[in-house]
Amino acid sequence: MYNSSAADSSSAGSRLFRYEVTGLRQNAETDRMDAPIRSSSSIFITVPYSRMNEEMRRITRMGGKIVRIEPVELGKASSVPPQPAPAAPAAAPAKAKAKHADVPVNIYRPNNPYIGKCLSNYELVREGGIGTVRHLTFDLSAGDLHYVEGQSIGIIPPGTDAQGKPHKLRLYSIASTRHGDNGDDKTVSLCVRQLEYKHPETGETVYGVCSTYLCNLEVGADVAITGPVGKEMLLPDDPNATVIMMATGTGIAPFRAYLWRMFKETHADYKFNGFAWLIFGIPFTANILYKDDLEAIAAQYPDHFQLTYAISREQQNATGGKMYIQDRVAEQADRLWELIQQEKTHTYICGLKGMEDGIDKALSEAAAKQGVTWSDYQKDLKRAGRWHVETY
Ligand SMILES: Cc1cc2nc3c(=O)[nH]c(=O)nc-3n(C[C@H](O)[C@H](O)[C@H](O)COP(=O)(O)OP(=O)(O)OC[C@H]3O[C@@H](n4cnc5c(N)ncnc54)[C@H](O)[C@@H]3O)c2cc1C
């Protein structure tokens, strides 16, 4: 169905992948040499890239289910040097926006997408939360798709729309760093919420085409990927920057990439030594995506990372209403306004369309205390490339 020429690269052909399979009994082909046994019902099979499809069919024929695929050589350890937090205030935004000419874009276009395999697909919402949000990782080893933190990729769901035309691509923020979750520069990860709503006229439950396709994607399945795209949400190169992140729901995706780059990976050319602050809005505690990782970073780097939740269905704002992200921003507005004025501060907003209005209101009030008109100041911040918004 797809153009699979990209998948025939010889460099990828020599790579090995390990399948974790359930539903099969161990036999002579099981890789027992170095594979960690994760559960008593799983077995591990090492397969060269060139035989992946064939092996998948064989496993399916034998009644097995592939629950995870990973490259045999796994990634890097984490650490980052501990150091002090933000410095003195600076004047109003002045610098012109950086052009980012070296950032990759549109390596793969919709008429010839990259075909990647799904390496893993797991649920992020825990018991008691609402909706479905999945973390998906795709193999990129058969092509040239590379990207940097803050970019998005397009996914083309298979099949046709109501007019019989092939589905159009949907964009998804990349949730992994440029090195990928396996640390080998060969994967890309997404954080996808299944769109589900009641049809306004019929009352029927409607599920989004692409998000449902992705959330239900089997490990080992092929997926058509375009991109990367986007220069709006790039991280500043400055390792001493202050990075303020405001996310609702899957808006966490680019911030996961930032935080992993800042705190969970080591790089020769980037050692974060600034201050990062994530304000994260979600309905329930069980909906806090990547909760354990976020809290581990906050515990390990208290001088460099602050984590603030707004849990709307569990916490109350100052007037007894639901605690939305704008209420947390309002609570912290004076401090945020102080940080935002510093030249090394970049502010990022990602997630639900409409989340900006409440944030603007809160910051307007803080700026007004110093006689500053927020909307004018914000325009200057945007011109200086220090105010970044991606809402959908
Ligand atoms: C830059 C960018 C980054 C993005 N990043 C992510 C991401 O990281 N994670 C993520 O999950 N999504 C992300 N999205 C959203 C994603 O692109 C899709 O829009 C989303 O997954 C829905 O696509 P779908 O094919 O499932 O829905 P579709 O089948 O295309 O249905 C969407 C349509 O359903 C209708 N609709 C939706 N809600 C309602 C409602 N409540 N009432 C009535 N009609 C409704 C609207 O007409 C809407 O256009 C991003 C979008 C952009 C632009």
Q: Which fold has domain 114-229?
A: Elongation Factor Tu (Ef-tu); domain 3 (2.40.30)
Distance 172 CA to ligand 1 centre (A): 9
Annotation marks residue 152 as catalytic? no
Helix (H) or strand (E) holding 358: helix 355-368
List 173, 176, 189, 312, catalytic entry: 173
CATH number of the domain located at residue range(s) 4-71 in this protein: 3.30.1490.170
CATH 3.40.50.80 residue ranges of the chain are: 242-391
CATH 2.40.30.10 residue ranges of the chain are: 114-229
Band the pLDDT of 191: cuts 50, 70, 90: very high
Longest dimension (CA), the chain: 76
Architecture of domain 242-391: 3-Layer(aba) Sandwich (3.40)
Global pTM reads 0.82
Q: Is 203 near ligand 1, meaning CB less than 6 Å away?
A: no
pLDDT per residue as tens digits for the range 97-126: 777 889 999 999 999 999 999 999 999 999
Band the pLDDT of 380: cuts 50, 70, 90: very high
Q: Is 352 near ligand 1, meaning CB less than 6 Å away?
A: no
pLDDT at residue 33, rounded to an integer = 34
User: Quick count: other Cβ atoms within 10 Å of Cβ 29?
Assistant: 13
Band the pLDDT of 34: cuts 50, 70, 90: very low
How confident is the model over 78-103, as a mean pLDDT? 56
Instruction: Return the amino acid letter for 93.
Output: P
Share of the chain above pLDDT 70, in %: 85
Pairing mode of beta strands 305-311, 345-351 = unpaired
Band the pLDDT of 88: cuts 50, 70, 90: very low
Distance 166 CA to ligand 1 centre (A): 17
d(CA 65, CA 290): 26
Q: Look at residues 271, 262, 235, 247 and name the one whose alpha carbon lies nearest to residue 346.
A: 235
C-alpha of 277 from chain center:
17
pLDDT per residue as tens digits for the range 241-280: 999 999 999 999 999 999 999 999 999 989 999 999 999 9
Share of the chain above pLDDT 90, in %: 74
Q: Does the pLDDT at position 376 exceed 80?
A: yes
List 55, 149, 265, 390, catalytic entry: 390
CATH 3.30.1490.170 residue ranges of the chain are: 4-71
